[in-house]
Amino acid sequence: MLEAIAKELVLRKSEISNQVTTIYFGGGTPSLLSEEEINRIVELLDEHYDLVDDPEITLEANPDDLTHEKIAALAHSRVNRLSIGVQSFFDQDLRYMNRAHNADEARRSMEQAIKHFSNISIDLIYGLPHLSEESWKRNLAYAFELGVQHISSYALTVEPKTALDHFIKSGKYQAPVDALTEKHFKILQEETKKQGYVQYEISNFGREGFFSKHNTSYWKGVNYLGIGPSAHSYDGLHRSWNIANNAKYISAIQNNLLPLEKELLSPEDSTNEAIMTGLRTIWGVSLEKIVNRHGEKFKEEILFQAEKYLEKGILYKEQEHLFLRPESYFLADGISADLFLLKV
């Protein structure tokens, strides 16, 4: 697999002409990689791509993977940022979500990680039906006490055919409740703000200087290259995705074939993506960029669709950008969908 990934990096080097500022080891279990394997991939990028001097290099990991020895090894690799899937610091929550780690492992991994890394992001889940407002505050308080610089926090979603889905349908577990989920979200906004975090995207809270460069690139529509099975890429005009089957992926790469599918985004598709991602962030939707790419008519159509939200103050326009007010973030998906263009 590593040989195939290395070869795909070389085969696709012409697809990225701009400087590479961020590298993300995510999906699957990248914490299985050794220090040497991580460094080999970064060195290959350094050799074939225009890599900035100090790129943000993130590795995703779960608490049960982060032993003291593993964290120490990662600290000696080129990785300079960890994204840790804590989800909760309480056993009841972790059991409900059917997580492999327990609360002790979550705490121990974090206490070790902060000794070696200054740039750490953790994932926390809210919206669990048994989770009281006070318990959610305690979860956040523990993250603040640790000095974590970045928090990604998401509402619980029940995916079909998962263990959680089965337990809810069988009546063993209670299903999430929208009203409680919204309360948790408001608490999240309030408590992070008190601690000096900036909600720079609906689900992401960072202290100044610690916003995720990688995720910010997605939301701002920057080109990116995804390597490996199931990886997605974007070049400004097309989206592409690699085959999900490991064996077929490796076989194709060995035969100098790129095992991917590609679609050309229509002007409406790319505009709708800009609306969907932009409204989620403090940077908003750049109407100027949309005019430059697709013409004045697209801007006029968006503003026509947005008129009722502008009148109510839910959206506001400033310096050719369209913004959603933070107090309405919980409704972002529905508002974005209401602004989508069908055919201009």
In a 13 Å sphere around the CA of 172, the CA atoms on its Cβ side amount to 10
Of the given ranges (34-43, 106-115, 158-167, 285-294), which has the lowest mean pLDDT?
A: 158-167
Tens-place pLDDT, residues 248-279: 999 999 999 999 999 999 999 999 999 999 99
Q: Say if residue 28's pLDDT is above 90.
A: no
pLDDT of residue 173: 80
Tens-place pLDDT, residues 148-188: 999 999 999 878 877 777 778 888 788 878 899 999 999 99
Contacts of 123 (CB under 8 A, 6+ apart): 83, 84, 85, 86, 87, 152, 153, 154
Query: What SS3 state is found at 263?
Result: strand
CA 285 to each of CA 67, 224, 303, 341: distance values in angstroms, whole numbers, following the listed order: 42, 19, 11, 14
pLDDT of residue 310: 97
DSSP per position, 61-82:
E-GGG--HHHHHHHHTSS--EE
CA 215 to each of CA 152, 156, 210, 280: distance values in angstroms, whole numbers, following the listed order: 11, 20, 12, 12
Model-level pTM greater than 0.85? yes
pLDDT of residue 40: 96
What would the mean pLDDT of 126-134 be, rounded to a whole number?
95
pLDDT of residue 340: 95
CA 265 to each of CA 38, 235, 249, 269, 276: distance values in angstroms, whole numbers, following the listed order: 33, 10, 25, 6, 15
What would the mean pLDDT of 95-100 be, rounded to a whole number?
91
In a 13 Å sphere around the CA of 104, the CA atoms on its Cβ side amount to 0
CATH T-level fold of 19-219: Transcription Regulator spoIIAA (3.30.750)
What would the mean pLDDT of 198-203 be, rounded to a whole number?
98
pLDDT of residue 175: 82
Of the given ranges (14-28, 183-197, 278-292), which has the lowest mean pLDDT?
A: 14-28
What percent of the chain stands above pLDDT 90? 90
User: What backbone phi and psi angles, to 5 degrees, belong to 236?
Assistant: 100, -25
CATH match for 267-339 among 1.10.10, 3.40.1840, 2.60.120, 1.10.3470: 1.10.10
pLDDT of residue 286: 96
- In the chain, domain spans: 19-219, 267-339
User: Which tokens belong to 140?
Assistant: 């956040």
Q: Pseudo-torsion of CA 265, 267, 269, 273, nearest 10°? A: 110
What would the mean pLDDT of 214-220 be, rounded to a whole number?
93
Q: Say if residue 91's pLDDT is above 90.
A: yes
Residue 18's CB is within 10 A of a number of other CB atoms, namely 9
Residue 34's pLDDT band, with cuts at 50, 70 and 90, is very high
* C-beta separation of 93 from 87 below 8 A: yes
